[in-house]
Amino acid sequence: MDRKQIIAVDFDGTLCFSTWPDTGEPNQPLIDYLKIHKKAGDKLILWTCRSGVILDKALSWCREVAKLEFDAVNDNVPEVIAYYGNNSRKIFCDIYIDDKACVPDEFCGKCRIIQ
C-alpha cells in the first residue's frame, strides 16, 4: 500500500458552517487545505452522521460549492480494506478533522484524577 496520508473530515460545523440538516457557508481555509492534500495524492474520507437524502445533499454541496471529491464516504478507502483484508466499522485515517474532536493531551490535562 502506498503510504499517502488519509484525511477524514466531518461535514456539519467543520467543512460546512451549517446546522443539520441544512447546508451553509463553506469553511474555505479547510477546503483549500484538503484540495492541496488531494492534489498531492492523499486520500479524503467524508466522515459524517448524515445518511440518505441529507447525505446526498451534503455530497452535492461538496461537489458544487467546495469542488471536492472524496475517495470514500462514511467508509474506509478501498486501499485500506484491501491491505487489511477487512473493513472495520472504525475508519483508519492519519488525520481526523471534526469540530467535536478533542486533543487527548489537552483533554487529559484538564481532567482530575478521582481517588
Structure confidence at residue 1 as a pLDDT band (50, 70, 90): very low
Residues 26-73: pLDDT tens digits?
999 999 999 999 999 999 999 999 999 999 999 999 999 999 999 999
- Establish if 35 belongs to a structural domain: yes
pLDDT digits (tens, 9 = 90+) for 72-85: 999 999 999 999 99
| Inside any domain, residue 115 | no
Per cent of the chain over pLDDT 70 is 86
Look at residues 7, 24, 99, 100 and name the one whose alpha carbon lies nearest to residue 62. 24
* Domains in the chain, number: 1
Q: Which domain holds residue 83?
A: 6-109
pTM: predicted TM-score of the whole model, two decimal places: 0.85
Residue 66 belongs to domain with CATH number: 3.40.50.1000
Kindly state whether residue 85 falls inside one of the protein's structural domains. Answer: yes
Q: Give the phi and the psi of residue 85 in degrees, each rounded to 5.
A: 75, 10
Kindly state whether residue 98 falls inside one of the protein's structural domains: yes
Query: CA-to-CA distance for 23 and 95, rounded, in angstroms?
Result: 23
The pLDDT confidence band at residue 100, using thresholds 50, 70 and 90, is confident
The predicted pLDDT at position 19 comes to 80
